[in-house]
Amino acid sequence: MRRFLTVSFLFIGIACAALAAPPPEPSAAAELKVRDAIILGIVEGVTEYLPVSSTGHLIIATHLLGLESNRTLVGRDGQPLWFKAPSARYPHGIPLTTKLAADTYTIVIQFGAIAAVAFLYWRQIGSMINGLLGRDPAGLRLLRNLIVAFLPAAFMGFALHSWIDEHLFSIGAVIAAQALGAILILWAERYRRRRVAEAKLPTQELSPKESLGIGFLQCVALWPGTSRSMMTIVGGYIVGLDPRRAAEFSFLLGFVTLSAATVFKSAQSGHAMIQVFGWTNVLLGCVVAAVSAAIAVRFLVNWLSRHGMAVFAYYRLAFALVLAAITWL
């Protein structure tokens, strides 16, 4: 029942956010196809918590689905639609485009991945809530560690998000990040296996210093194609967590980080996304992402416990080679 209520409240929040946005035109400017919403939801859900980069895969998916157009959209009256109308601050204005809406969409459907973690790890989330109420010291320590690990990426992401959107959302950037990430995974697995006596600490027993180190590694994932999950699991390896604990800390940290990023992006350009795509398929994408993310999380925990991350390194290398061949040959 608690899990049901948690997920229900999350989706009620999504619906309220959509309904609270400025009302769209009678029909969306470029209605998103149901097929596209399902595909993007699956890509987001499957790749968000696997160490392969959801952002990188979503950049490729939006490209293949033809959602990268920078052509200014027009209303029924034939007049251009504006994300930011011409003003003293924006002399030429910022036009409303399919790409702008698609970039926002791929962030907003992270609500689904957030809901999956809330569903699967409701005990830990409940423990943190009880910690805030003074009833669970271990839960309070876990919450402290997650906040400390969250802060570096929060500050850096806020400071650099415009520059990243402008310069790093490209297939070339994804290819480079995929290849370098594969090398890092192989190194991390060798490092983990060389440890004579690996300290299998409970997640909540990490020190603030160790949590901060994981947080700084998470900042590297601001480069599209790197993978937030990969960086935080590698960070967990370095501070002595076993694969299962490292993955669980990554999931819970993702719950905090993705929540902040999704709320920020929704407030910034969610109304534009609704105006372009309408809100029905936004909710559909979130639901699909939630289901596929729950499956992916269960798979990853079981896989890492038995085999580690090496297989994902080989996947990343193959993915980078295929992308490079398609893009440059």
Distances (CA, A) of 64 to 43, 69, 93, 169: 13, 12, 28, 15
Per the model's pLDDT, the better-predicted residue between 10 and 217 turns out to be 217
- Rounded Cα distance, 316 and 326, in Å: 15
pLDDT at residue 15 above 70?
A: no
**Cβ pair 215, 232 in contact under 8 A:** no
- Rounded Cα distance, 67 and 174, in Å: 17
pLDDT at residue 105 above 70?
A: yes
- Rounded Cα distance, 186 and 182, in Å: 6
pLDDT class of 93 with cuts at 50, 70, 90: confident
pLDDT at residue 12 above 70?
A: no
Domain layout of the chain by residue ranges = 2-328
Give tens-digit pLDDT for 193-208. Answer: 887 445 555 555 789 9
pLDDT at residue 25 above 90?
A: no
Structure tokens at 209: 């210093």
* pLDDT score, position 32: 81
Radius of gyration over alpha carbons of the chain, in Å? 20
